[in-house]
Structure formats: C-alpha cells, structure tokens
Structure 1
C-alpha cells in the first residue's frame, strides 16, 4: 500500500497543473495530458500536466499525476539505458523532461506476456471471438484469460492520427507497407523484447507482474533508433500484484492491479459522457485516484514518494526551473 493516504492528499487538491502554457517558450503544442515546446536547437521540452483524459474529454486534474508519470519513466529510462539509447537529456523539474526531438516511427510496439485485455486490439478480445492468428503470431487452442502465454509476443499497431484508432498490423505488413524496413523492424522488436524482459525481472523484485506494455521509438537525424515517450509507467503498462495473482485467477476473478479508473467508472455510472454534461467530480474521488498513482510509483520504483511540506503552485515551480530556457 501507499505510504500516503487520502487524508494527506486533501490539502493538495487545489494545487494541480491543469494548464502548462508558458508564453516565453516557443512552438507550443498541447496534447491531451502533455504540453510540448520545441526549441530552435532541436531539443523538446515536455511538461506532464495533471489532466485526466477519458471519453475524449479532460475530466479533472489529479494531484501529482504528472510528476508520478515523469518520475516513473525516469526510473525506467535510467535502468534500461544499457539496452537502448533514449530521448532524455535532463530533468529540470519533477514534471518536466528535456529531450531530443525525434522522428517518431509510425508503429507502436506492444509486448504481451499474458492472455489479457479488453480493447478491440487486445489478444484476449480477438481470441475469445475465435481468432487464432493475430499480429502474425499463431496462438494455440485452450489458452485462458489472464494466464501466461506460452511465450512473450510482440503485437504491433499502426499509430493513429489525432482522433483515429490504432490498428493491428503484422510484421510482414509493416515492411510491405513501407512503415519500417525489415532491418528497422528487427531492431525495434528485439529491443522491445529486451526492454520487457528487464522490466519483468525488476518488477518481480517489487512484487509485481509486468503483464503488457507499449513502447514508442523514434529516429534522430543520424538515423539512430531511440526509445521515446515513456516506459513502464502505470499509464503505458499493465501491472498485477504477484501476491494475490494465483488465488484470484483460480477463483475466476480479475487480478489485483493499480485501478486508476475510479473517475471513468464514476462518471459513466452517472451520465452518458459522450452526450451529457459531466457532473462535478467529488474531491474524495480525486484524492483516491492520486493515492493510487502514488502507490503505483512507490511499488514500481521501490522508492517513497515525498509530498512537499508546503504546497507551491506547480506552474510557478516549473516556470522557475525552466527560466534558463526562456
């Protein structure tokens, strides 16, 4: 469990990073949860906000969410740098990474160790419909939900444009469509498997099962393939708790995980979020979600999360730490 509970988080509810607009920085692009600034020298500043996105909307902001995701990724970037170079240059602030600007490859590499998932591109969704050939991999009959696969698989998808949906693709299709060359695909798929093996081994030491994860790769001006975006965060990866896994699966229950979908579930039970106004989200629900993110950070990294003694407005702190880039 987290060392920080709801009560400790309530005083911080008003101190979230909704808007990371910094007028002194150039070439601002705002994504759903990150704000990006491209510097003239080829560096990019990425600010992770606390915005929580669901149903194609920003529902609320979760205290420390941006910091948790940035620092969890930092933990993993530092522990996998011997496997592949990554885009990180420095961390001037807990919510900020300064990185190399890469040309992101048009294939998202998803690695899976278990028969799991609920989305249309998940192998369990397709398997229970009778599919046995998926992503260029042949799956045997008799596999069960939430059980380990015979071997770790790479299940790539195309990267959708804004508002689109990722689509399953096979390695042969990736090369035939010119998305990547055969050599590039070999490099990213082998690298992804090596990253996953490292993540699985280190997560197990902290009582976690790394179930599946996604990786994004990019290319610098010299053509070097590097790891980009994030790695093994609770938003990009599925983790289960080792201690209760066998008992719960044997009983037909879902394995324990970092359930961050409190807000999504609460909203969908009260309205049609695609048509109706979103009701005001209770402070206690926001605090509970923050506690789960912090628990995820502490469990994944094995490090305690330190709350600031005095809440400082997040944007003020970020601006102070980025002044030299103005």
Structure 2
C-alpha cells in the first residue's frame, strides 16, 4: 500500500530529537514545540501491524484536534496548530506515566477480565451479575501504566499510583477531575451523533510552567469505544452483540485468527482487500463521530506534503 505513511525520517530546522511511538512520531523543535505526526500504522494488543491503513493517520489526527477544540473550555490542552491533515503541533510537555482510562460500560478489556472471574479492576469493585456491555452504575476510572514500545500497558490502581510515587496526590486529583469532565463532554457530543461513548483513555502532561494539560489523542476510534445508541437496550435484553464504532473490530478479527499479542503468536496476514475494508471502516467512524463528510487528503506523496506543510509553519 504505497499511499500510506508508516515511517518518517524528517530533519526539521532546530530539531532536537524524534520519538517513534506505536502510531505517532514526535519531533521536538527548540525544546519548545512538538510536531506530532499521525502515521497510518495500526496497533492492536500493543503490537504494530505490518501494513498501514490508508487515511488512518489523517482520521485520527483530525478527530483528536476537533475534540480538543470542543473541550478546550473545560480542560486545557497542548495543541497550537494543525499545519497538515496528519500533523498536530503543540507545546513541549512532560507526560505523566499513566493513561487515564474511564469506563461507563462493561466492555472490551474490562469485560474480558470480568468474564475471567475478576471483580476488582484497578482497585474498583464491580458488582456481581453484570453482562458484557451493561451500563455501569457510574463511570469508573481504571488507569494503566504507560509502558515503553513493545511492552503491554498494565492495569494499576489509584492507590498503587500514589504509593509508588508515579503521580503526586495533588496532580492525580487534577487528572481524575479532568478525566471525568472530558468523559462527560464526550458523552454529550456522542449522544448528539446517536452514539454512546462506552469507554476511552486520556493522556496528560505538564508544561514548562507547571500547567497540567491534555496531550495526544482524544475520543478517536483508537482510544475510545462507541456503541450506536439506537437499539442498544434491545440488543442488551436479547444478549446480542452491540453495534459499535471502535478499533475492537480489528481486535476481534485478530482474535478469530488466533492472535492476541502473546509470545510466540504470529500476526495473521492482512490482505490488501482486508486493509482497504479497515480503511473504509475508519472513514465511517470519522463521519459518524464528527458528523461531517470525510475529505481525503492528497496521498500521492504524503511524506513530501507533510514536510512542506510543517516547514511552512515553522518558518512563521
């Protein structure tokens, strides 16, 4: 798939360093700005798939930046500009080493843990008798550690975060407050689109002047799970699978092929036909979540386009 971007190797003016994440590549400029490029890489079970997904990076970047704009009145964020469909530029921050996961429903990882017999998740006790995809009495925060590339993020409780000094209590209270505020806003926006924001994760960092801000992606199909609201109650009552918008369809496909990112397992072959079907699903996700048609950027030479647009922005 030559119309995808899976790796970058730019050398921007005053570039200090570059960090290659699972999906995003982050260039530090002058110790002040971060140029974050959303690639078309696909990560599942903390493993990067061998092929890129056309337009995925553009979709993730545009959803994240739109939601940052729609939540800036309740939670400050790192964003400065979006000079290219795949690029966000923001302030340099020191990331907190935890991901703030919030769940309004028993789905995905939480449901798998529950079905395995666990009734305490990240220090939060879950009631007996819950079914997969049931709405929880109130949203719960189930943090995970932010691990290096190649390592699985690990569930962790608030108590362990504080006792191990990963985050100070003063800062953690802010992270919890912001997480709940963002989830409430995201839930409101989703409802207007006929969707349910099932669960999501947020990442935060600290600016040089000590302000805690939202960083990375927000409310994208890679970081969040959405159900269609119409028919949700009926499907639950019948014990049927929910119609959803998230990356879970990729995870389920991998599971059906015997892959869950465990040692010794091989990533199944992803044909061009399957890759294109995933791309079409991501476009559907964008249009449903944002409520606008998706406009495909020119992908005849993505690297050249990105470099030109970033250089133009930095020159200003």
TM over 0.5: yes
The aligned counterpart of 1:230 is 217
3-state SS in 2 of match to 1:303:
coil
Q: Deviations over 1:248-278 (max 9, x none)?
A: 2222122111264666666666687865876
The aligned counterpart of 2:290 is 301
Larger relative contact order, structure 1 or 2 (CA cutoff 8 Å, min sep 6)? 1
Q: Gaps spanning 5+ residues in structure 2: where?
A: none
User: Are the structure 2 counterparts of residues 264 and 193 from structure 1 closer, same or farther at C-alpha, using a change threshold of 3 Å?
Assistant: closer
1:78 and 1:299 map into 2 onto residues whose CA distance is 18
> Is 1:282 the equivalent of 2:271?
yes
The aligned counterpart of 2:84 is 93
Q: Is the 8 A contact 1:262 1:285 kept in 2?
A: no
The aligned counterpart of 1:42 is 32
> Is 1:140 the equivalent of 2:127?
yes
1:165 and 1:279 map into 2 onto residues whose CA distance is 19
3-state SS in 2 of match to 1:141:
coil
3-state SS in 1 of match to 2:51:
strand
C-alpha displacement at 1:65, in angstroms? Answer: 0.3
Q: Among residues 158, 161, 165, which one is paired with 1:171 in the alignment?
A: 158
C-alpha displacement at 1:316, in angstroms? Answer: 1.6
The aligned counterpart of 1:7 is none
2:254 and 2:50 map into 1 onto residues whose CA distance is 9
C-alpha displacement at 1:219, in angstroms? Answer: 0.6
2:150 and 2:125 map into 1 onto residues whose CA distance is 31
Q: How many residues get paired?
A: 309
> Is 1:322 the equivalent of 2:310?
yes
> Is 1:182 the equivalent of 2:169?
yes
The alignment's C-alpha RMSD in Å is: 2.4
C-alpha displacement at 1:188, in angstroms? Answer: 0.7
C-alpha displacement at 1:71, in angstroms? Answer: 0.2
The aligned counterpart of 2:96 is 105
Calculate the TM-score normalised by the size of structure 1.
0.86
The aligned counterpart of 2:73 is 82
Q: Among residues 256, 259, 273, which one is paired with 2:243 in the alignment?
A: 256
User: Are the structure 2 counterparts of residues 277 and 116 from structure 1 closer, same or farther at C-alpha, using a change threshold of 3 Å?
Assistant: closer
Q: Is the 8 A contact 1:263 1:286 kept in 2?
A: no
The aligned counterpart of 2:136 is 149
User: Are the structure 2 counterparts of residues 258 and 279 from structure 1 closer, same or farther at C-alpha, using a change threshold of 3 Å?
Assistant: same
Calculate the TM-score normalised by the size of structure 2.
0.89
2:97 and 2:204 map into 1 onto residues whose CA distance is 9
Q: Is the 8 A contact 1:112 1:152 kept in 2?
A: yes
C-alpha displacement at 1:135, in angstroms? Answer: 2.5
1:269 and 1:133 map into 2 onto residues whose CA distance is 27
Q: Deviations over 1:6-43 (max 9, x none)?
A: xxxxxxx5421122221345322222222211111411
The aligned counterpart of 1:58 is 49
User: Are the structure 2 counterparts of residues 245 and 97 from structure 1 closer, same or farther at C-alpha, using a change threshold of 3 Å?
Assistant: same
